[in-house]
Amino acid sequence: MMMRAHPSGSEEKAVRALLEGIHRQVSAAIGRIDAALAEVRERERQLTNEAFRAQIRVEIQAWFKAHPDPRSLAELFGSREDE
């Protein structure tokens, strides 16, 4: 079995710099994931909040009152009767 000699000072510095760069990139990615997870948890909390659900219900009912024509709903979802 061949033993590798201890890296020279410049090789060790280069390796350390590379590892520090990788560490910074991983830390930044973890930070972005944590932020996204916090946002998802906040949205989940809002969806379980009855006041938020009631507000959504009121907004949907207002939309239907403002758009009584059934074609409005089809247009909202991108469906066309003439296609």
- Res 2: pLDDT: 55
In the chain, the amino acid numbered 34 is D
Instruction: Evaluate if residue 80 carries a pLDDT over 60.
Output: no
Alpha carbon separation from 59 to 12, 22, 37, 53 (Å, rounded): 62, 47, 27, 10
- Greater model confidence, 2 or 67: 67
pLDDT tens digits along 11-60: 999 999 999 999 999 999 999 999 999 999 998 888 788 888 888 889 98
- Residue 78, phi-psi category: left (phi > 0), alpha (psi -120 to 50), beta (remainder): left
- Reported pTM: 0.48
Q: What are phi and psi of 76, to 5 degrees?
A: -60, -40
The residue-averaged pLDDT of 69-83 equals 67
* Rounded to 5°, angle at Cα 55 from 68 and 39: 120
